[in-house]
Amino acid sequence: MNKITEYSLWEVLEQIKSSLKSKRLADVFRFTSFYPSETYGPHKHMRIEINYVKKGNCILHIDKESINFHEGDIMIISPNVEHLFEAGVNGTILMQLEFLPEIFSHLHSNIRIDTEAMPTPSFLFSKENRLIKIVNNINVIRTVQCIINELEHKGSHYQYLVVMYYAELLIFLYRYMHETYLSICTNDLLRKAICYIQHNYQTDINVNDIAGHASISERYLRKLFSQNLNLSPLDYLNQIRINKSIELLKNTEKSVKEVCFLCGFQSPQYFSRIFKQQIGLSPREIAKSQSPLF
Say what the pLDDT of residue 115 is: 42
Say what the pLDDT of residue 181 is: 57
Return d(Cα 285, Cα 256) in angstroms, integer.
10
Return d(Cα 133, Cα 137) in angstroms, integer.
10
Return d(Cα 70, Cα 67) in angstroms, integer.
10
Return d(Cα 81, Cα 99) in angstroms, integer.
14
Ordered by where they begin, the domains of the chain are 3-179 (2.60.120.280), 186-286 (1.10.10.60)
Task: Enumerate residue ranges in the chain where pLDDT < 50.
Answer: 1-7, 113-116, 289-294
Sign of CA dihedral 228, 232, 234, 235: negative
Segment (H or E) for 220: helix 218-229
Say what the pLDDT of residue 21 is: 64
Return d(Cα 86, Cα 65) in angstroms, integer.
13
Closest among 199, 269, 276 to 237, alpha carbons compared: 199
Say what the pLDDT of residue 187 is: 79
Return d(Cα 281, Cα 175) in angstroms, integer.
23
Strand partners, 62: 65
Contacts 24+ apart (CB under 8 A), 247-251: 247/136, 247/137, 247/138, 247/139, 248/136, 248/138, 249/283, 249/286, 249/287, 249/288, 250/138, 250/286, 250/287, 250/288, 250/290, 251/138, 251/142, 251/290, 251/293
Segment (H or E) for 247: helix 233-251
Q: b/e per residue, 151-167, with b = 16+ CB within 10 A?
A: beeeeeeebbbbbbbbb
Say what the pLDDT of residue 192 is: 87
Closest among 170, 182, 61, 75 to 131, alpha carbons compared: 75
Burial class (CB in 10 A: 0-12, 13-18, 19+), 9: middle
C-alpha 108: how far from chain center: 19
Strands (E), 44-126: 48-62, 65-70, 73-77, 83-99
Say what the pLDDT of residue 127 is: 66
Task: Find the Cα–Cα–Cα–Cα dihedral 256, 70, 196, 167, rounded to 10°.
Answer: -80
Return d(Cα 140, Cα 238) in angstroms, integer.
21
